[in-house]
Chain A
Amino acid sequence: MRKTLIYTVVLGLCILFGGHAIAAEPLYPERPTGFVNDQAGMLGDSDDLEQMLSDFEAETSNELAVITINSLEGVSIEEYSEQLFQKWGIGKAEKDNGALLVVVKDDREMRIETGYGLEGALPDALADQIIRKEITPEFKEGRYHNGVKMGLQAIMAATKGEYNPIDTDPESESTIAGIVGFGIFLLVVVIIVVSSIFAARATRKGGRRGGGSSSDDSSSGSSWTSSDSGSSWGSGSSSSFGGFSGGSSGGGGASGRW
């Protein structure tokens, strides 16, 4: 009897925690692991691509990202690309100069999603041409790494040095904050005035009460650095990827199949 109980408990725990290990990669990964996110394992050793895009970003501030996935799981590639683009915020926030190349292995579909800021340099027709002429021929031969490389090079050539800064107005909550702050200030003044009136009347005890709040809020010991040390697949890159910079896309770009 006892043994059965123990076995059941152990089994239960295994299912509980084992299930996590079996769980597949999420469709929309929370954070990018780098400029290149080869979830479907199509690109082999992609360090060269990662370096290329990293250098490009350093040089032009444009952020190009690549992701390969196994399946869209029923979502359209347009919707997927737009959602992921917005989630990761590809491109600099003020410039929206990002682009995302999505490759879906099982569905044999791909898409270039263009940020608002790159729409001038990389219009839809050009993105479509890049897909048809640079990437598709390589993909048809199964040369995924090379196809992606050529596609990225074409995109970089199109956008090099050409970005249109888009001035997105930051939501200024400062006005509301100002009003609230003023209100609190008034309240404090009133309290001080009222209490000083009472204090003036109560001349019995001259001394103040023991010193004010002595709570020293020292910052907590656990410093929560957001380095992606957990997800660096031993790729050898010393710097962990910090993520993209909050750029936005309006749905521009082109899709294709191979």
Chain B
Amino acid sequence: MKKGLLACGIIAGVVVLIGIVIAVFFMGTYNTLVKSRENVDNKWAQVENQYQRRADLIPNLVNTVKGYASHEEDVFTEVTALRSQWGKAVDSGDREQQIEAANGMDSAISRLLLVAESYPELKANENFLQLQAQLEGTENRIAVERMRYNDEVTTYNKKIKVFPTNLIAGMFGFIVVEYFEAEEGSDVVPEVTFD
């Protein structure tokens, strides 16, 4: 009689223990995923920051270049337009849209700087030199933050794809995050024709 009761007790205890272990696993994994996703969002915010910083440099840049190359209307209009496109993308909060706008700003600024190349007086202007330094600094920061963002995305994506974490990820709606990739052909400097 006693033996049977003891056996039941032990089995019950083991079952309870297993239940606790599974619950702990669930909790732990879910929390890890939440933290990982927060890290990704945090890194994205950094990338956004740096792009914003660059967008803020644009008005000053345009004004300085205008002082020496006032007739180059096209590049000015273009870069200003792409800057507002960036602003809209930030407001919308759509990450893909933001990436697209950021890449657009990339090319527009390159074109503007290329135009500036042909004005030696502009290139010697102290204000312009400072702006260039700021732009280069920002470009570098953007590169660094994008790299760190992509690293964080890799960590997160790995977590939600690996078994058995992927089960819990699926249950609670943790989806794969896109990498921040350079736009096709953004490394090619466009030809500027003076006609």
Contacts and interface: CB of A to CB of B under 8 A. Distances in A.
Interface of A: 78, 82, 123-125, 127-129, 132, 175-176, 179-180, 182-183, 186-187, 190, 193-194, 197, 249-255
Contact of A255 (B27, B136, B138): B136
Secondary structure dominating the interface of B: helix
B133 A176 contact: no
Given A128-B129, A175-B31, A194-B13, A250 B141 contact: yes
Contacts of B133: 124-125, 127-129, 254
Interface string B111-132: 0000000000000000001100
Contact of B31 (A125, A127, A176, A194): A176
26 contacts: A78-B140, A78-B143, A82-B144, A124-B133, A125-B130, A125-B133, A125-B137, A127-B137, A128-B137, A129-B133, A175-B31, A176-B28, A176-B31, A180-B24, A186-B17, A190-B13, A190-B17, A194-B13, A249-B144, A250-B50, A250-B141, A250-B145, A251-B140, A251-B141, A251-B145, A253-B140
B20 interface: yes
Contacts of B32: 176
A125 B50 CA distance: 16
B21 A183 contact: yes
A197 B144 contact: no
Interface of B: 6, 10, 13, 17, 20-21, 24, 27-28, 31-32, 46, 50, 129-130, 133-134, 136-138, 140-145
A82 B50 CA distance: 16
Given A125-B130, A176-B31, A197-B6, A254 B136 contact: yes
Contacts of A249: 144
Secondary structure dominating the interface of A: helix
Nearest to B138: A124
B144 A128 contact: no
A133 to B, nearest CB: 11
Given A129-B133, A254-B136, 17 more contacts: A123-B137, A175-B31, A176-B31, A182-B24, A183-B21, A183-B24, A186-B20, A187-B17, A190-B13, A190-B17, A250-B46, A251-B137, A251-B142, A251-B143, A251-B145, A252-B140, A253-B137
- For B31, B50, B140, the residue with the greatest tally of chain A CB atoms inside 10 Å of its CB is B140
A183 B137 CA distance: 50
A223 B21 CA distance: 40
A186 B129 CA distance: 66
A194 B10 CA distance: 8
A107 to B, nearest CB: 17
A252 B140 CA distance: 7
CB-based closest 8 A-B pairs = A124-B137, A251-B144, A128-B133, A251-B141, A125-B130, A251-B140, A125-B133, A78-B140
